[in-house]
Structures are given as C-alpha cells and as structure tokens.
C-alpha cells in the first residue's frame, strides 16, 4: 500500500490526522475529564483482550496513511501507562507517509520514558498542566498531585529533544482562571507554547456548564493587557489553536476556542479508540468498529475501503450546532477517545 488515496468527507474535509488512544486508564482524575467520583476503584476499564495490540494499531495506522494521514498523535487515558510504548512508536515511525508523531501526556512518567520514546522515533510531546499552584492543580487533577513531577517531566522531555513542546491548560471559571496570567508569565520566553483550552462538554460525566467556560477572547484580552499580543497566521490549514505572538518577541501562545468560536469547517482529524473503533468527531456517541473485521482477517484493501466509506459519509460539526439540548446527548468520554 504505497499509493495514497486522498479521501474527502461530505463537507470537503480531507483526512489528515489520526489520534490514537492507547489506553482508557489514567493515573490522574482530572475533574473535567475523569471525575474521581465516577471513575472510582470499581470503574470497569477495558479488559486487555479488548484493547488493540501494537501490531493491530500499526496496521490500522498504515491504512490511514494510505488514505492521506500524515500526522499521528498518541493519547489516552494516559498513554505513558501503556507497556512498551516505545515499540509501538518504532512501528509507527516505519510507516510510509507519516511525517509527524506526537504524544499528549500528563507528564508524570516522562522522566522515566522521554529518552526512550525519542530514540524510538517520537517527534514531540504536549504536556497537560492546568496550574502552577500546587493546591489548585491538586484539586483539579483529583489526586492531590503537585506540580513538581510535571515540571520534572517537562524538563526531561526538553532534554530528550521532544520539542517544540506545548503545554495544554484547560481553563475552568472559578477553578484555575486566576492562573492564566501566571502561566503566561512562567513560559514566556522559554520556547514552550502554552495553549489555553476552553472547557468542553465532552462525554457526559464532567458536569459541563456554559458558565464554567472562560471564552478564548477573554483569555487573550487578559494576557494582552499585561504583555501585548498580535495575531499570527496558522502554521497549517486546520490548526486547532489560534496563534497569538508576544509583540516583544518572547514567543507565542495558542487558544483553543472549541466552544465560543468553532472550527469544524477545517476538522481533518479521525480518532481511534483503544478498543479499535473509529470516531469521526470528538463528540460522537458511537464509533465504527474496525477491530472486529481486522481480527476476522480483513485484508488491507478491505480495511481501507471500510475507513474510506466512513470518512466519505462523515458530516460531523458538533461544535457548530452545540446548544442547550445537545449538551446532554450521549457522547463518548474524553478519556476513552483521547481528545
Ligand atoms: N492524559 C493525557 C493528558 O492529560 O494530556 C492525554 C489524554 S487527555 C484526554 C488529552 C487532552 O484533553 C488533555 O490536554 C486534557 O487537558 C484535555 N481535556 C480533557 N478533558 C477536557 C475537557 N472537558 N475540555 C477540554 N479539554 C479537555
Ligand atoms: Fe487523565 Fe489526561 Fe484525563 Fe487528566 S486529562 S484525567 S491526565 S486522561
Ligand atoms: Fe471536529 Fe467534531 Fe470538534 Fe467539529 S466538533 S472540530 S467535527 S471533532
């Protein structure tokens, strides 16, 4: 499969990126993602046999590459909990057409794995960090974990060359919105790009309310009041974050306004769940089963046709049509899909 077929959905959107969730488990319980009272000790996480193995993931990724995917992002749950992740990365690195492999992590296990992952072929990481204040961060991550291990993880990633490194901060009104300026100040001039993310109504378990969303516009205004910003062009079509550059040359920030200023028109992302289902939208209730045909012996061509047909029928634009009545609709959880 070396020829690439560029497939488009019903809205003319190409298939360019694949996000692969390698586990539904996590060592944190962020309240906007896996609230501790829902994801407790008895929560039924996927049994091992249900989860795609490395060979299966690599085979599916190869099929996606044959349909135009050039970028892969490994996520979860917490992807660094997956055993031998470096071996998976080596397999993905060998797929023709894959230009970029990134990973989103809470950073806790980066000191142990950053070097190994880089050597295996990982290009860069995005680390999630919602606050520099231990009390605020500990409350939000549901485990009382302080910032020190994450900061150590960030250092390890930089030392290993997993750059440019980005930080994701989910902003929730009344929880960490007072930390916006502190995050900007801390990372300005370091080469690290902080991306401020509007709290989203993914899944059905995080108690989302519009009142808890701090609009991207407000985030930009607040940072701009301290350190003047100017808008920068996207790096590529379909970039999720809007870029803002510090006028004094100290780098840039990104804001992801998935609630107040949607970007479905440019959405070229597909998502593969740990269980082997293809989701064509972060807010979809159901995925398309790929694992069953794969395990039943489907050929590469058959898998390619399956994915191609799903993408060709794709019509998703949830964020554009979000309203009070869509918020409570059934949707897959973020920890399952990986964001
Ligand atoms: N565990 C890894 C981590 O936290 O980076 C990877 C998986 S996590 C689901 C991927 C990203 O989704 C993280 O940056 C996280 O902050 C973000 N996220 C989770 N729930 C969210 C929500 N309700 N709204 C906005 N972003 C969310
Ligand atoms: Fe875990 Fe990441 Fe979700 Fe936090 S955001 S609970 S670290 S999967
Ligand atoms: Fe893409 Fe769905 Fe998000 Fe719109 S709501 S940008 S279609 S994932």
204-258 pLDDT, tens per residue?
888 899 999 999 999 999 999 999 999 999 888 778 899 999 999 999 999 999 8
The binding-site residues of ligand 3, defined as CB within 6 angstroms of any ligand atom, are 263-264, 267, 281-283, 316-319
pLDDT given for residue 2 in this prediction? 59
pLDDT given for residue 262 in this prediction? 84
E strand or H helix at 102, and its extent? strand 100-105
The binding-site residues of ligand 2, defined as CB within 6 angstroms of any ligand atom, are 26, 28-30, 33-34, 76-78, 106, 128, 335
Q: For residue 74, what pLDDT band results from cuts at 50, 70 and 90? A: very high
Q: For residue 328, what pLDDT band results from cuts at 50, 70 and 90? A: confident
Question: What distance in Å separates the CA atoms of residue 27 and residue 94, rounded to the nearest whole number?
Answer: 30
164 cis-preceded (ω within 30 degrees of 0): yes
Judge contact between 21 and 274, C-beta under 8 A.
yes
Angstrom CA distances, 127 to 23, 24, 107, 231, stand at: 17, 18, 6, 24
pLDDT given for residue 158 in this prediction? 98
Which single residue is written with the structure tokens 């996590």? 26
**Centroid of ligand 1 to alpha carbon of 178 (angstroms):** 20
238: left (phi over 0), alpha (psi -120 to 50) or beta: left
The total of structural domains in the chain comes to: 1
pLDDT given for residue 204 in this prediction? 85
Q: Is 266 exposed, middle or buried (0-12, 13-18, 19+ CB in 10 A)?
A: middle
DSSP 4: P
List CB contacts of 71: < 8 A, sequence separation 6 or more. 16, 17, 18, 98, 99, 100, 101, 102
Q: Is residue 11 part of a domain?
A: no
- CA dihedral for 50, 51, 54, 58, sign (positive or negative): positive
pLDDT given for residue 145 in this prediction? 98
Q: Which of 20, 23, 30 to mutate to test the pocket of ligand 2 (most atoms within 8 A of CB)?
A: 30
pLDDT digit string, tens, across residues 158-214: 999 999 999 999 999 999 999 999 999 999 999 999 999 999 988 888 889 999 999
Which ligand number lies closest to the CA of residue 167? 1
SS3 119: helix
Helix axes 148-160, 110-120, angle to 10 degrees: 20
- Residue 240's closest CA among 95, 35, 73? 73
pLDDT given for residue 170 in this prediction? 98
44, pLDDT greater than 60: yes
E strand or H helix at 99, and its extent? none
Q: Is residue 144 part of a domain?
A: yes
- Residue 269's closest CA among 16, 31, 80, 8? 16
**Centroid of ligand 2 to alpha carbon of 78 (angstroms):** 6
263, pLDDT greater than 90: no
Tell me, what CATH number does 244's domain have? 3.20.20.70
Q: Is residue 1 part of a domain?
A: no
Q: Is residue 252 part of a domain?
A: yes
Angstrom CA distances, 264 to 30, 126, 171, 281, stand at: 26, 22, 21, 9
337, pLDDT greater than 80: no
Q: Which of 21, 33, 153 to mutate to test the pocket of ligand 2 (most atoms within 8 A of CB)?
A: 33
Find the mean pLDDT for residues 143-161: 98
Q: Is residue 6 part of a domain?
A: no
Q: Is residue 4 part of a domain?
A: no
Question: What distance in Å separates the CA atoms of residue 292 and residue 48, rounded to the nearest whole number?
Answer: 15
Q: Say what percent of the chain tops pLDDT 70.
A: 98
Question: What distance in Å separates the CA atoms of residue 215 and residue 199, rounded to the nearest whole number?
Answer: 9
Question: What distance in Å separates the CA atoms of residue 333 and residue 286, rounded to the nearest whole number?
Answer: 11
Average pLDDT over all residues of the chain: 95
5: Cα separation from own chain's centroid = 25
pLDDT given for residue 183 in this prediction? 98
pLDDT given for residue 271 in this prediction? 97
Q: Is residue 10 part of a domain?
A: no
Angstrom CA distances, 215 to 90, 166, 302, stand at: 39, 20, 44
Identify the domain containing residue 159 by its residue range: 17-337
pLDDT digit string, tens, across residues 276-320: 999 999 989 899 999 999 999 999 999 999 999 999 999 999 888
List CB contacts of 292: < 8 A, sequence separation 6 or more. 276
Question: What distance in Å separates the CA atoms of residue 74 and residue 76, rounded to the nearest whole number?
Answer: 7
Q: Is residue 26 part of a domain?
A: yes
1, pLDDT greater than 60: no
């Amino acid at each position: 499969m070396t020829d690439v077929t560029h497939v488009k959905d019903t809205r003319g959107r190409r298939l360019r990126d694949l996000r692969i969730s390698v586990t539904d488990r996590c060592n944190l319980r962020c309240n906007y993602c896996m609230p501790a009272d829902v994801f407790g000790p008895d929560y039924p996480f996927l049994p091992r046999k249900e989860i795609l193995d490395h060979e299966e993931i690599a085979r599916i990724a190869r099929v996606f590459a044959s349909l135009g995917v050039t970028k892969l992002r490994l996520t979860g749950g917490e992807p660094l909990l997956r055993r031998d992740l470096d071996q998976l990365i080596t397999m993905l690195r060998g797929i023709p057409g894959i230009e970029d492999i990134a990973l989103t992590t809470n950073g806790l296990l980066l000191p142990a794995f950053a070097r190994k992952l880089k050597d295996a072929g990982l290009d860069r990481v995005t680390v999630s960090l919602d606050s520099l204040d231990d009390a605020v961060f500990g409350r939000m991550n549901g485990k009382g974990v302080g910032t020190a291990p994450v900061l150590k993880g960030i250092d390890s990633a930089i030392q290993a060359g997993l750059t440019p490194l980005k930080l994701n901060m989910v902003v929730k009104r009344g929880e960490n919105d007072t930390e916006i300026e502190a995050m900007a100040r801390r990372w300005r001039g370091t080469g690290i790009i902080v991306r401020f993310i509007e709290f989203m109504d993914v899944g059905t378990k995080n108690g989302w309310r519009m009142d808890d969303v701090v609009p991207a516009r407000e985030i930009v205004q607040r940072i701009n009041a301290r350190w003047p910003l100017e808008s920068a062009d996207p790096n590529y079509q379909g970039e999720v974050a809007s870029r803002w550059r510090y006028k004094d040359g100290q780098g840039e920030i990104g804001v992801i306004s998935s609630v107040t200023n949607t970007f479905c028109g440019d959405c070229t992302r597909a998502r593969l769940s740990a269980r082997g289902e293809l989701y064509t939208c972060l807010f979809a209730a159901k995925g398309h089963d790929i694992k069953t045909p794969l395990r039943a012996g489907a050929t590469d061509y058959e898998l390619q046709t399956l994915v191609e047909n799903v993408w060709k029928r794709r019509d998703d634009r949830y964020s554009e049509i979000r309203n009070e009545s869509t918020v409570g609709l059934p949707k897959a959880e973020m920890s399952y899909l990986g964001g």
